[in-house]
Structure 1
Amino acid sequence: MPETRFVVTGSIATDHLMTFPGRIREQLIADKLDHISLSLLVDALDVRDGGAAADIAYGLALLGHRPLLVGAVGADFHDHGARLAALGVDTSAVHVSTTRHTARRLCTTDTDGGRLATFYPGATAEAAAIDLGEVLRRRGGADLVLIGADDPTAMARHTRACRALGVPFAADPGGQLARLTGPAIRELVEGADHLFTNEDAHELLLTRTGWTRDDVLRRTGVWITTLGDRGSRVERAGEPPVEVPAVPAGTVTDPAGAGGAFRAGYLASLAAGAGAERCARAGSALAARALSAVGSRTYTPDPGRPRAPRQPSPS
């Protein structure tokens, strides 16, 4: 069977993951919420390769694919890129900025799984300079392009390139939904082969676009909504929604990377010819592996395999 040609566009980042040995919500004072000044003493710090698009590419590479990663980074990406390339991710289409750092995500997780996160986009602002149409023409097309959260202009440009070339694409706007207008979201979703959201983004997409569920389903092939520990929901036009249970994760060590792992597992199963429900189950299985590891790039599909080499943390 020919190899499925996946292209994954979106954020590439460095994650600074911290662990707070308490509950963040207990640090908030009810009558002081109009002037929050919160200082948390954390007891662990891991510096990890991150970014939603790079996480998906990592998962696909672990499952035997050679995805093309498309995004914008800084000159500090060299070691990060080398680790991805060693796994089989094609980084030749990654744009390297000469003036900005690779994006940073700082995330503090408490004992209840509550999180505080800050994201610095950095070189992501230059992603709109990437001509995905030219990339696809040089490669002779693609079987599926996943358009993930990125600079909004880049997301729109990538979507238009796929439509112009007749290349199937999956819309995965993620956290960018909160800053996009209704018309911008409608442009990203229209004609998508797949649409990926989590539960909150599902509702936000409907609110921002003014569309009903049926309106969205008339414009997409399959709408996949992840539901956390409840699994996922598969929706198609003219059919009732199908709830797909989660695969138990055992000990949940770190939520980072679970979303990327789900998408990688889903897409790899799709490449093997599976139906959407089976793909969602495969996505949940890989997400469970990610949940049991610290960071988004230390899990493997098979618990019997050694993990990827641990990245050094600062002393």
Structure 2
Amino acid sequence: MSALICGSMAYDTIMVFPDQFKNHILPDKVHILNVSFLVPRMRREFGGCAGNIAYNLRLLGDDPVPMATVGQDFGPYRQWFAEHGIRMDQIRELPELFTAQAFITTDLDDNQITAFHPGAMMRSHENHVRDVPGVSFGIVAPDGRDAMLQHASEFKAAGIPFIFDPGQALPLFSGEEFRHFIDQADYVVVNDYESNLLQERTGYDEATIAGKVRAYIVTQGPKGSRIHTQGAVHDIPPAHERRITDPTGCGDAYRAGLIFGLMRDYDLPTCGRMASLMGALKIEHPGTQNQRFTWAEFAEQFRQQFGTTL
């Protein structure tokens, strides 16, 4: 049985401005802002939540099924996934549109200016969870608004356990809609900032959310993560990376480790540690899909980090 990964697939174009934005933006002239930044360094990465989660699950030896809508420029991404043996039967290509993409410019202070083009992602509701056979687990990750609402409803109707991961889609929904997502989901995963925002929107505290799902998981960056259940709170220690190269995509790697563990009935503390290690292995590499390891290497790293075997 496979995990259905509902979410975005995107290209990330990342550029570095070798100066500080503040030196070129006049505060008293922002009403007539017209600036241009020379960016001698640029790279293009494969990204999007569904793409990143599927890639990380494949590293663990799983057979994920990413579900997304993409555009006429998907060719290089398709080849990348083919090289890694990742299924693409639930990826719908819309030739009249472009694949979603982010254009990110970072200055020397790590400030960022990002332009995001959703492209084909805005029609991701044309895919249906109910049409995919052989699915035993799922995740509703950031995607088009209508798609996220629809996918959650169809997972629930099919009796398929799933994770609700609002992420950067948090601004798209009302408190009532978030409460409905929580009522449908089996797990909710957010970072600590998103947790505060979700609580503010819903009027629920952590204990209330945990009481409505099997687990409410809050990541805390270098501090690790916390898994809240109806009867306990599990503090998950961070895995220790050998070097910090690029944090982009660590959250998606964490979610892949969580999904892998949950599908194999590991207990929640073990699932959290697997997820933590996935994030640490990702942060050692640039981009979101450039880390490589085998299951044996992952299991050995887990033993060294946490003192137990998988």
Q: TM-score, normalised by structure 1?
A: 0.86
Distance in 2, Cα, partners of 1:217 & 1:275: 16
- What does 1:208-219 align with in structure 2 at a 5 Å threshold? 208-219=201-212
1:265–1:28 Cα change, 3 Å? farther
- Secondary structure of 2:240's match? coil
Contact persistence 2:207–2:228 (CA under 8 A)? no
The superposition leaves residues 131-166 of structure 1 with CA deviations (integer Å, 9 ceiling, x where unpaired) of 22122xxx24x2211111111111111111111111
Distance in 2, Cα, partners of 1:277 & 1:206: 24
Contact persistence 1:156–1:187 (CA under 8 A)? no
CA-CA distance at 1:129 after TM superposition:
1.1
The corresponding residue for 1:284 is: 276
- Secondary structure of 1:190's match? helix
Distance in 2, Cα, partners of 1:191 & 1:237: 16
Contact persistence 1:62–1:301 (CA under 8 A)? yes
Q: Which amino acid aligns with 2:164?
A: A
Q: Which amino acid aligns with 1:226?
A: T
Q: Which amino acid aligns with 1:204?
A: L
CA-CA distance at 1:274 after TM superposition:
2.1
Contact persistence 1:65–1:88 (CA under 8 A)? no
The corresponding residue for 2:307 is: none
The corresponding residue for 1:308 is: none
The corresponding residue for 2:16 is: 19
CA-CA distance at 1:278 after TM superposition:
2.0
Q: Which amino acid aligns with 1:177?
A: L
Q: Which amino acid aligns with 1:159?
A: A
Contact persistence 2:218–2:226 (CA under 8 A)? yes
Distance in 2, Cα, partners of 1:96 & 1:146: 21
Distance in 2, Cα, partners of 1:232 & 1:29: 40
- What does 1:1-315 align with in structure 2 at a 5 Å threshold? 4-22=1-19, 39-111=36-108, 113-135=110-132, 139-140=133-134, 142-239=135-232, 241-301=233-293
Q: Which amino acid aligns with 1:20?
A: F
CA-CA distance at 1:128 after TM superposition:
0.8
The superposition leaves residues 74-95 of structure 1 with CA deviations (integer Å, 9 ceiling, x where unpaired) of 0211221232133122110111
Distance in 2, Cα, partners of 1:252 & 1:111: 17
Distance in 2, Cα, partners of 1:293 & 1:32: 39
Contact persistence 2:6–2:139 (CA under 8 A)? yes
Contact persistence 1:11–1:53 (CA under 8 A)? yes
1:30–1:49 Cα change, 3 Å? same
CA-CA distance at 1:106 after TM superposition:
1.5
- Secondary structure of 1:71's match? strand
Distance in 2, Cα, partners of 1:84 & 1:262: 20
Distance in 1, Cα, partners of 2:52 & 2:122: 19
Structure 1: runs of 5 or more not aligned? 306-315
1:118–1:250 Cα change, 3 Å? farther
1:203–1:101 Cα change, 3 Å? same
Q: CA RMSD in A?
A: 2.4
Distance in 2, Cα, partners of 1:204 & 1:93: 32
1:164–1:303 Cα change, 3 Å? closer
Structure 2: runs of 5 or more not aligned? 298-310
Distance in 2, Cα, partners of 1:170 & 1:254: 25
The superposition leaves residues 84-126 of structure 1 with CA deviations (integer Å, 9 ceiling, x where unpaired) of 1331221101111132100001123345544333221100011
Distance in 2, Cα, partners of 1:291 & 1:26: 30
Aligned identity (percent) is 29
Contact persistence 2:60–2:294 (CA under 8 A)? no
1:35–1:209 Cα change, 3 Å? farther
Distance in 2, Cα, partners of 1:113 & 1:285: 25
Contact persistence 1:242–1:277 (CA under 8 A)? yes
CA-CA distance at 1:167 after TM superposition:
0.8
Q: TM-score, normalised by structure 2?
A: 0.87
Distance in 2, Cα, partners of 1:166 & 1:63: 25
The answer to which of 110-119 and 221-230 deviates more is 110-119
Distance in 1, Cα, partners of 2:13 & 2:111: 16
Q: Which amino acid aligns with 1:196?
A: V
